[in-house]
């Protein structure tokens, strides 16, 4: 299933004889070794030699070594250097602070800083609400993590989580012009995290919780929502739920089914799984089976985890008690936010006619998408190298843009549903097909449509 990915992109600086076929021979060698050429650039040329930068996507580090060896094996060819383009992108970090005001002379300085700034400080001291208009607060959010559940990498800690949080902040700016900053906390104590975020809150207009392990993430989010006057959004929960519902809305249109008439099986009962199930229920789904490591959750399951108890009480109406593989038999929809390769082709073949499979574990899905596609009507993943990528980038930038524009602190189901509908609507009826059920993250209208929908829902709630 592994295919070349931009995540393992290399540039190999190669010295080669100056022949008319030199570049084509380099490209052929890369292709034969399974790489995907993205660029060939001649950087130096002499009477008898050339230096060519060969950029290509690979499947992993070992594959990169294989391609290097294939080029070195060509007659007269030497690989001078290999650069990992992903690491190069991260050198020095992905963010910087740029002033919005000019500081050209003493006059500018006197207004931006002392003595003029003191007047602004006193105005905020007299009226704290003025900070929203007179500081960065109205357009700035904190991207907060403790590094305990980073991507599919697990508990790798705050320093190792920083590249992800930088990327998240960059996406906020790129897609919705929201200024965001990574806040990676060197503690995994629930009370300490809550205390620190509350202490930092005066700077920010909102908090995006990210990659915090369940079940602690539930309490942290609930407490912060209760104790802060700014919106708190857990993207791993609600961002995932929004884009999943958007994709499912369009997928059901393609296969001609209704959400209140289908059987849905969800693998994964952590943050994402819980939020997906609750939002599907809010939209009208009434036959959902939630499966954890030990199989289906039913009303017989009692847990100290309130969210797991909610699943036990509000899902699985027929009280099915089998395994995940048994649960998907006859199911209309499978949604995976769990672990790689837990289903196989035979499992998908056992689903209902015109089945929908969302295998969203990253980087390796719950089932091979190619195998699933031989039986399911629609297959979606979290990956960019297959059709129908279900990606949170479609949700969180515009969602926060709408929250900040509306100046609200509460996040409601009506906002989540409105955001999902806005994303789904970006795919017109004329465009809709099994390979295109959800818009590209680069659709320039997604974030603004989501922001408008969230702001409108917020206004109705006031």
pLDDT band of 271, cuts 50, 70, 90: confident
Q: What is the mean pLDDT of the chain?
A: 94
Establish whether the linkage from the previous residue to 363 is cis, with ω within 30° of 0. Answer: yes
Q: What is the pTM of this model?
A: 0.90
The fraction of the chain above a pLDDT of 70, given in percent, is: 99
The alpha carbon of 15 is separated from its chain's Cα centroid by a whole number of angstroms, namely: 39
Mean pLDDT to the nearest integer, 387-402:
95
Is the Cβ–Cβ distance between 72 and 78 less than 8 Å? yes
Give the H/E segment covering residue 418: helix 413-425
Q: How far apart are CA 20 and CA 25, in angstroms?
A: 10
Take residue 303 and report the two structure tokens written for it.
């847990």
Task: Supply the pLDDT for residue 212.
Answer: 94
Burial state string for 325-346 with b = 16 or more CB within 10 A and e = fewer than 16: ebbbeebbbbbbbbebebbeee
Cα 199 from chain centre: 27
Give me the percent of the chain exceeding a pLDDT of 90: 88
Flag whether pLDDT at 9 surpasses 80. yes
- Give the pair of three-digit tokens for residue 198: 């509350």
Catalytically active residues are: 113, 168
Summarised one tens digit per residue, pLDDT across range 187-243 is 999 999 999 999 999 999 999 999 999 889 999 999 999 999 999 999 989 999 999
Partners of 234 in the β-ladder: 209
Categorize the per-residue pLDDT at 1 as very low, low, confident or very high, splitting at 50, 70 and 90: low
Q: Is the pLDDT of residue 180 over 90?
A: yes
Instruction: Give residue-wise pLDDT tens across range 445-460.
Output: 999 999 999 999 998 8
Q: Distance between CA atoms of 9 and 87, rounded to whole angstroms?
A: 9
Q: How far apart are CA 296 and CA 329, in angstroms?
A: 13
Phi, psi at 367, each rounded to 5°: -145, 150
pLDDT digits (tens, 9 = 90+) for 303-333: 767 788 889 899 999 999 999 999 999 999 9
Note whether 357 and 334 are within 8 A (CB). Answer: yes
Angle (CA) 387 389 390, round 5°: 145
Element (H, E) at 267: strand 264-267
């Amino acid at each position: 299933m592994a295919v070349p990915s931009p995540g393992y992109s290399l540039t190999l600086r190669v010295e080669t004889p100056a022949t008319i076929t030199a570049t084509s021979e380099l490209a052929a060698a890369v292709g034969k070794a399974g790489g995907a050429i993205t660029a060939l650039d001649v950087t130096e040329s002499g009477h008898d030699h050339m230096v060519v930068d060969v950029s290509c996507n690979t499947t992993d580090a070992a594959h990169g070594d294989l391609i290097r060896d294939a080029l070195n094996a060509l007659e007269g060819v030497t690989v001078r250097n290999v650069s990992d383009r992903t690491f190069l992108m991260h050198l020095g970090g992905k963010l910087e602070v740029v002033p919005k005001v000019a500081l050209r002379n003493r006059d500018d300085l006197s207004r931006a800083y002392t003595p003029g700034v003191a007047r602004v400080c006193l105005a905020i001291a007299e009226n704290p609400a003025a900070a929203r208009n007179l500081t960065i607060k109205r357009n700035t959010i904190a991207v907060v993590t403790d590094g305990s559940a980073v991507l599919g990498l697990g508990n790798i800690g705050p320093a190792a989580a920083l590249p992800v949080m930088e990327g998240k902040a960059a996406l906020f700016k790129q897609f919705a012009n929201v200024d965001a900053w990574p806040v990676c906390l060197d503690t995994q104590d629930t009370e300490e995290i809550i205390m620190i975020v509350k202490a930092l809150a005066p700077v920010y207009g909102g908090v995006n919780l990210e990659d915090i392990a369940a079940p602690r993430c539930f309490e942290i989010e609930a407490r912060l929502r209760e104790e802060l006057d700014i919106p708190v959004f857990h993207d791993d929960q609600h961002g995932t739920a929004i884009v999943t519902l958007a994709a499912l809305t369009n997928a059901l249109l393609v296969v001609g089914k209704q959400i209140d008439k289908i059987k849905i099986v969800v693998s994964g009962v952590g943050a994402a799984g819980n939020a997906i199930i609750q939002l599907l229920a809010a939209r009208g789904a009434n036959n959902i089976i939630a499966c954890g490591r030990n199989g289906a959750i039913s009303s017989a399951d009692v847990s100290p985890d309130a969210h797991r108890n909610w699943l036990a009480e509000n899902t699985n109406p027929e009280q099915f008690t089998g395994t995940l593989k048994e649960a998907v038999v006859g199911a209309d929809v499978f949604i995976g936010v769990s672990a790689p390769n837990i289903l196989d082709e035979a499992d998908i073949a056992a689903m209902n006619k015109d089945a929908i499979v969302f295998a969203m574990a990253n980087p390796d899905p719950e089932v091979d998408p190619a195998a699933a596609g031989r039986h399911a009507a629609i297959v979606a993943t979290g990956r960019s190298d297959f059709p129908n990528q279900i990606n949170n980038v479609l949700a969180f930038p515009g969602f926060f843009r709408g929250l900040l524009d509306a100046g609200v602190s509460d996040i409601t189901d009506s906002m989540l549903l409105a955001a999902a509908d806005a994303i789904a609507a970006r795919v017109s009826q004329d465009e809709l097909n099994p390979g295109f059920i959800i818009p590209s993250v680069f659709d320039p209208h997604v974030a603004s449509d989501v922001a408008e929908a969230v702001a409108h829902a917020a206004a109705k709630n006031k």
